[in-house]
Amino acid sequence: MNKKLMIIAGAFLFVLMGSSCKKSFLEKVDPNSVTLNDDFKSPNDILLAINGIYTSLRSSNNIGEGSSLWTDERSDDTGSNDNQSNAGEPFQFNDYSLLPGNTYLKSHWVSLYGTISRCNIVLTYIDQVPFSDPNLKLQYAAEAKFLRAMMYFRLVREWGDVPLVTKQLNNVDEVGAATFREKQATVYAQIVADLTDATKAPLAKLQTAATTGRVTLAAANTLLGQVYLTMATTQDQSKRTDNLNNAKTFLLAAYNMRSFTTLSSIPYTDVFDVSKKATCPELIWQMPYIQGNASYYSSIAANNQVKGETINSLKPSTALSGGITADIIKEYETGDPRMAFSVKYSTVVNDWFITKYRDASAAASNLGYGGNDYPLMRYADVILMLAEVSNYLGDSAGAIQYIDMVRTRAGMPTYAVSLTNPAYAAKYTDLRLAILHERRVELAFEHHRWFDLLRTFTTDELVTYFRGKNQADFGLANLQHFTTKDRYYPIPFDEYKLDPVKMYQNPGY
């Protein structure tokens, strides 16, 4: 291998942190080697590195507020109706015509592995740092493990088999040895191991105004429960019941950590209220942004606004389309208050646009420096996952109880009453579809929809599902392009060509 491989394999070596030079300039060293031994001497050095992990999440190529391309735009909720801009590459995601050479896809891959690299660096060097407080060391390690698990959970759901790296890679030989796709079962085992450690660590139960954005026990249990639920519905079916029971255990643990009594005590709009983002008890884990700050502001409110509108932001918009499919608009039941809050029809551009994220305050200004935090986990999501688990375990009464918590808070009729509505009963013919519907309207535009679909349907069912929709509701994106290949993304071409045998391409690409 050579230096070219180091560049191409940037998915593994992207955090090349420099260390001070203490050796003679005559001493020969490997120019491709990464040495960080001298960079970690105190707990504060570890803390700064962990802060760097959190910072990497903000990118639109990662899981930040602008990362809808990998999730919502891949689903039936949103998508570009422009097949020309940026060489048509964003359009490939919702047109199901994605190519391995798509540069957006590669950037996403590199960003996720970039975060993993930062986690591995912390976990590699934390043992050499003296900690006077052993619990602080356990906390920092748990945060790094949680964030590494989060990245691998994204990777394994989006690509299937993926390279699994759990230590810092120091040179091209180590990169070469790690350049192969590991089977999903092995990747999931690592995810579970990391998250299990996190659930046993001395983390705070819940975030506070002072610790917003940091990992908590509630977040660790939520993610581990979601992982087990995903394994139960998409992996080895001989372990389905065990995985469902594990999902129930960890989701209930997260639910029981809540600081409120009933979901109905928290108005739906409070979850997205900029003035309440640090105090809303429904929020489990969120990505914090700073209102008015030119470096750390949120742009989600301004970016979702269309020309001639001011509901989201004071920043003028030139956008002519909201990017929302007519399909999701039709999903809302008549009179659902969540629709009135989440979307609006603009007579200026004759299109719907997202209004769920708003900051039209003077502090955000006409520059659009919003203060919205991006919700990564909240209790309505936990409750609806508990409904899923209960339904799959045959406890329909329990599932209905959970779904009614969300519907009642939204001001909608209970599930039993809704079944007396012929339109509702005809569209959601079983509890599984009713839960999927509730998740769609409750968690709309929060980047859950694509993964919800993958969890609910087999690949063949998903093809039937998409092809059964009304093409007119999706603009230029052609639903007939959707085939079994679209269950996973293609391996980025630059990664595949490193070793076409070990980095084998996904079927259909």
* Residue pLDDT, tens place only, 345-369: 999 999 999 999 999 999 999 999 9
Give the ranges where 87-133 is alpha helix by DSSP (H): 91-95, 103-125
Specify burial of residue 336 (Cβ count, 10 A radius: 0-12, 13-18, 19+).
middle
Distance between CA atoms of residues 403 and 488, nearest Å: 29
Distance between CA atoms of residues 64 and 357, nearest Å: 14
Write out the H or E segment, with its range, that includes residue 295. none
8-state DSSP, 264: G
Distance between CA atoms of residues 384 and 398, nearest Å: 11
Q: How confident is the model at residue 27 (pLDDT cuts 50, 70, 90)?
A: very low
Mean local confidence (pLDDT), 374-394: 98
3-class secondary structure, 370: strand
Q: How confident is the model at residue 6 (pLDDT cuts 50, 70, 90)?
A: very low
Residue 155 structure tokens: 């990777």
Q: How confident is the model at residue 26 (pLDDT cuts 50, 70, 90)?
A: very low
Which pLDDT score, from 0 to 100, does residue 39 have? 84
- Cβ atoms of residues 236 and 322 within 8 Å: no
Distance between CA atoms of residues 328 and 317, nearest Å: 23
Mean local confidence (pLDDT), 24-41: 61
- Cβ atoms of residues 342 and 444 within 8 Å: yes
* 365 dihedral zone (left: phi>0; alpha: psi -120 to 50; beta): left
Triad 300, 218, 59: Cα angle to 5°: 30
- Cβ atoms of residues 81 and 324 within 8 Å: no
Q: How many other C-beta atoms can be found within 10 angstroms of the C-beta atom of residue 289?
A: 24
Write out the H or E segment, with its range, that includes residue 250. helix 240-255
Number of H-type helices and E-type strands within the chain: 20, 4
pLDDT tens for each residue of 181-237: 999 999 999 999 999 999 999 999 999 999 999 999 999 999 999 999 999 999 999
Q: How confident is the model at residue 19 (pLDDT cuts 50, 70, 90)?
A: very low
Phi/psi of residue 162, nearest 5 degrees: -140, 160
Q: How confident is the model at residue 2 (pLDDT cuts 50, 70, 90)?
A: very low
Residue 110 bridge partners (DSSP)? none
Please say if the pLDDT value at position 30 is more than 70: no
Q: How confident is the model at residue 38 (pLDDT cuts 50, 70, 90)?
A: confident
Q: How confident is the model at residue 17 (pLDDT cuts 50, 70, 90)?
A: very low
8-state DSSP, 47: H
Give the ranges where 31-95 is alpha helix by DSSP (H): 43-56, 91-95
Distance between CA atoms of residues 297 and 452, nearest Å: 29
Those residues with Cβ within 8 angstroms of residue 64's Cβ, 6 or more apart along the chain or in another chain: 57, 58, 287, 374
Which pLDDT score, from 0 to 100, does residue 23 have? 39
What is the topology classification, in CATH, of domain 1-14+36-203+479-509? 1.25.40
Q: How many other C-beta atoms can be found within 10 angstroms of the C-beta atom of residue 28?
A: 7
Phi/psi of residue 324, nearest 5 degrees: -95, 135
Burial 387-411 (b: 16+ CB within 10 A, else e): bbbbbbbeeeebbbbbbbbbbebbe
Which pLDDT score, from 0 to 100, does residue 33 have? 53
Distance between CA atoms of residues 403 and 414, nearest Å: 8
Give CA separation, 494 vs 106, 109, 319, 491, 505, in Å.
Answer: 8, 11, 33, 8, 11
Rg over alpha carbons for the chain, rounded to the nearest Å, is 23
Which pLDDT score, from 0 to 100, does residue 344 have? 98
Q: What is the DSSP string of 194-239?
A: HHHHHHTS---SS--TTSTTS--HHHHHHHHHHHHHHHHHHS-GGG
Q: How confident is the model at residue 37 (pLDDT cuts 50, 70, 90)?
A: confident
Residue 509 bridge partners (DSSP)? none
Q: Which of 497, 501, 489, 500 shows the shortest CA–CA distance to 107? A: 489
Task: List the chain domain ranges.
Answer: 1-14+36-203+479-509, 300-372
Q: How many other C-beta atoms can be found within 10 angstroms of the C-beta atom of residue 366?
A: 12
Distance between CA atoms of residues 351 and 454, nearest Å: 28
Q: How confident is the model at residue 56 (pLDDT cuts 50, 70, 90)?
A: very high
